[in-house]
Amino acid sequence: MSDAIPARFAPGDRVTVRRAHPPGHLRTPFYARGASGVIERLCGAFANPEELAFNRPGLPAQPLYRVRFRQAELWDDYDGPARDTIEIEIYQHWLEAAR
Amino acid sequence: MSSHEHQDHEHHDHHDHDHPHAPPPDADGTLTYYQALELAVTSLLIEKSVFSADEMRRQIEAMDARHAGLGGRLVARAWVDQDFKARALADGSAAAREIGLEIGPLKLIVVENTPEVHNLVVCTLCSCYPRMLLGLPPDWYKSRAYRSRAVREPRAVLREFGTEIPDDIEVRVHDSTADMRYLVLPRRPAGTDGWAEERLAALATRDSMVGVALAQPT
């Protein structure tokens, strides 16, 4: 999409998911909020579903990433090897550069 | 109803009905709020000629006709053609279209099982699923238990499906939360050298392409 918001992150960048709890239709799972991971890929730019849910255009389009997390980062008592991971699609406005 | 009344009722049924196979009671109880809403919106859309009842029926028929054999074709091609596999991993949608699969606007990501990684797909928020390539999702995929546990304890969930992943293989869960859909490219079973693509396609079962099972020779 030509009028998409420019992508701020590239594969390999470390990012942290915002710990926010706004009301409405959200596609950022609770269990990932506040967690840090690595950008696996940029999926493209998509109309923001939080706006679409209210019949608004959701533009300019938001870059959407796949972010890879270590399971141990998400669950304190994860019962499995440290190498296990999970990948989640997260829109750019939910991500900050990891400190 | 008290248990006493219940027993009386059964007693009554047994003796007063002369036909031995009374039909079971209809299962259509009171509509839930969302069922009523769906019916209301559907009838409005038809009334306002946004689409016709026949168009809606045809769409349902077309979706019901989708099946895992379509995804199996993509997997089998990737098993026999390394260049195609590379293209499928780079752009799943383009690869599906390349072999003539009609996927509409589907944004497909193909994830490959290897000796180092086993992939598992879930949608924790609802039930996102590559329907164009696998058909309608099974009930367990939509269940709260699968959706909550697949991200929290994937190895325990896999074990319940009879799939044991050794600790030296990474289990990588894909939470299908937004605009992309995921298809697992299972590992090609040993002992299938020289098999025709069509025969290979049958080994790529629905469950193996969701990642709860391995592709196995039957």
Same domain, B129 and B144: yes
Taking residues B2-10, report their average pLDDT.
41
Domain count, chain B: 2
Residue contact A91–B178, C-beta within 8 A: yes
Same domain, B110 and B162: yes
CA A49-A54-A58 angle, to 5 degrees, is: 45
> Hey, what are B26's tokens?
């209809």
Q: DSSP code of B145?
A: H
Same domain, B84 and B100: yes
**Structural domains in chain A?**
14-97 (2.30.30.50)
Give the pLDDT band of residue B218 (cuts 50, 70, 90): confident
Same domain, B56 and B163: no
The answer, yes or no, to whether residue B208 has pLDDT greater than 70, is yes
Q: B49 catalytic, yes or no? A: no
Q: B52 catalytic, yes or no? A: no
Same domain, B103 and B157: yes
Taking residues B20-48, report their average pLDDT.
87
Give the pLDDT band of residue B22 (cuts 50, 70, 90): confident
Same domain, B101 and B43: no
A22–B contact, CB cutoff 8 A:
no
Same domain, B41 and B109: no
Same domain, B132 and B186: yes
Same domain, B122 and B38: no
Same domain, B138 and B196: yes
Residue contact B155–A79, C-beta within 8 A: yes
- How far is Cα A36 from Cα B114, in angstroms, rounded to an integer? 26
Chain A residues with beta carbon closer than 8 angstroms to that of B168: 81
Phi, psi angles (nearest 5°) of residue B86: -60, -40
Q: Is B137 helix (H, G, I), strand (E, B) or coil?
A: coil
- How far is Cα B148 from Cα B183, in angstroms, rounded to an integer? 20
Q: Residue ranges of the alpha helices (H) in chain A? A: 49-52, 71-74
B98 part of a folded domain: yes
Helix B68-80 with B82-90: angle, nearest 10 deg:
120
Taking residues A33-45, report their average pLDDT.
97
A58–B contact, CB cutoff 8 A:
no
Chain A residues with beta carbon closer than 8 angstroms to that of B184: none
Which region, left, alpha or beta, applies to residue B191 given φ > 0 means left and ψ of -120 to 50 means alpha? left
CATH code: domain of residue B201: 3.90.330.10
Same domain, B87 and B125: yes
Which region, left, alpha or beta, applies to residue B20 given φ > 0 means left and ψ of -120 to 50 means alpha? alpha
CA nearest B147 in A: which residue?
A29
Residue contact B177–A28, C-beta within 8 A: yes
Chain A residues with beta carbon closer than 8 angstroms to that of B177: 27-29, 88-90
Q: Tens digit of pLDDT for each residue in B109-159? A: 999 999 999 999 999 998 899 999 999 999 999 999 999 999 999 999 999
ipTM rounded to 2 decimals: 0.95
> Hey, what are A44's tokens?
């493209």
Q: B123 catalytic, yes or no? A: yes
Domain span at residue B108 reads 68-210
